[in-house]
């Protein structure tokens, strides 16, 4: 893995030229996919290319998707607007990046002390989440689909050990989404930036700590070279859904079979992407410890308690948001989390606890 190649990805891409409609060549539509990631970055960059390829395949080649990595056509943070405005037909990113548009968007990606990867998909498919997802993104001319998940993210890379919640105060920390609001309430200086930019900020001392995704992706970006303390659990993001956003006008103009092809390409990748993360995170973590000298550390109990209180305040503010749609999204999320969580305390937790007693993990 060439980390330097990832770090060369610029914040500003080439000038964007809006498209009135998909270009047609002998009945084939040429679609541009813009992404928030360096090309083929382990994890999200790989998943983005998988999605581009799968849409092309499932459409029978009638939609040819060409992927543009962050900075190649538009900057990574600009992919939502590029699709909304018609510069590109679709994007691959995460909802955590669009909180400036609406706080309600953030709930579709991850929530502090929130949904695990299977629960996130369950909320969308069986708990009314997709209708709310469509309603929110429809305001911006985007048709959204979940298309993957990183699974539980990690607490972050820290230069120094964390012994109490007091140690968090004043820390310059990279994170995104609702996790950043939780961290701000703990007295941390939360900053959003790309994965490569986080490496540079840790290297220069502009950051004291930060979290990106998990061992597979994080090790490719080289954080272990600078900060050796790798903390768990990442309660700020118990999972992080990846999404595909399609220009709503373009999507609406498709015949039904191609609409279904796009939808199925996204849905069919959710589990393969998630399980690849889990598998390769496990392999990468072992290497980080055995070959790179990384110290795995658990957040102290008072830190988890403080995070829980801060997260509760974040959710309470969402419930009182001035936007009625944000309120409905929040209530739907809470109802699903509490209902399924109560069941899983017996089912999933019971199995994991029993396995730990017998096998030690």
State the binding site for Na(+).
212
- Count other Cβ atoms within 10 Å, centred on residue 161: 12
Q: How far apart are CA 5 and CA 196, in angstroms?
A: 10
Q: How far apart are CA 352 and CA 327, in angstroms?
A: 34
Alpha-carbon distance values, 272 to 97, 140, 314 (Å): 23, 29, 32
Q: How far apart are CA 20 and CA 308, in angstroms?
A: 47
Helices (runs of H) and strands (runs of E) counted in the chain: 14, 12
Query: Which residues line the annotated binding site for substrate?
Result: 153, 174, 211, 237
Q: Under a CB-based contact definition with an 8 Å cutoff, are residues 228 and 211 in contact?
A: no
Partners of residue 134 on adjacent β-strands: none
Q: How far apart are CA 107 and CA 133, in angstroms?
A: 9
Q: How far apart are CA 36 and CA 38, in angstroms?
A: 7
Q: How far apart are CA 304 and CA 214, in angstroms?
A: 19
- Count other Cβ atoms within 10 Å, centred on residue 44: 26
Share of the chain residues as helix, strand and coil, in percent rounded to the nearest 5: 50, 15, 35
Query: Which residues line the annotated binding site?
Result: 153, 174, 211-212, 237
């Amino acid at each position: 893995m060439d980390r330097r190649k990832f770090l060369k990805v610029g914040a500003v891409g080439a000038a964007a030229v809006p498209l009135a409609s998909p270009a047609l060549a002998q009945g084939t539509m040429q679609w541009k996919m813009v992404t928030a990631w360096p090309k083929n970055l382990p994890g999200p960059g790989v998943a983005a290319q998988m999605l581009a390829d799968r849409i092309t395949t499932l459409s029978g080649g009638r939609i040819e998707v060409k992927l543009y990595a962050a900075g190649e056509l538009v900057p990574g943070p600009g992919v939502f607007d590029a699709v909304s405005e018609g510069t590109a037909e679709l994007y691959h990113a995460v909802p955590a990046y669009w909180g400036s548009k609406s706080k309600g968007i953030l709930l579709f990606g991850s929530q502090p002390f929130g949904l695990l990867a299977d629960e996130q998909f369950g909320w969308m498919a069986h708990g009314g989440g997709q209708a709310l997802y469509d309603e929110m993104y429809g305001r911006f001319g985007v048709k959204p689909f979940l298309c993957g998940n990183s699974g539980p993210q990690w607490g972050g890379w820290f230069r120094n050990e964390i012994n109490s919640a007091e140690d968090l105060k004043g820390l310059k920390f990279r994170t995104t989404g609702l996790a950043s609001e939780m961290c701000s309430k703990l007295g941390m200086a939360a900053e959003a930036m790309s994965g490569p930019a986080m490496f540079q900020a840790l290297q220069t001392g502009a950051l004291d700590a930060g979290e990106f995704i998990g061992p597979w992706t994080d090790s490719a970006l080289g954080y272990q070279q600078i900060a050796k303390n790798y903390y768990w659990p990442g309660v700020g993001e118990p999972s992080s859904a990846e999404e595909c956003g399609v220009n709503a006008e373009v999507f609406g103009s498709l015949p039904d079979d191609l609409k279904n092809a796009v939808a199925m390409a996204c849905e069919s990748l959710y589990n393969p992407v998630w399980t690849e993360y889990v598998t390769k995170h496990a392999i990468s973590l072992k290497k980080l410890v055995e070959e790179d000298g990384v110290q795995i550390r658990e957040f102290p109990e008072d830190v988890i308690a403080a995070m829980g209180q801060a997260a509760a305040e974040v959710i309470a503010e969402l419930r009182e948001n001035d936007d009625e749609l944000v309120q409905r999204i929040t209530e739907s999320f809470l109802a699903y989390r509490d209902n399924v969580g109560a069941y899983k305390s017996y089912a999933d937790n019971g199995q994991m606890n029993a396995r730990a007693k017998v096998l030690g993990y």
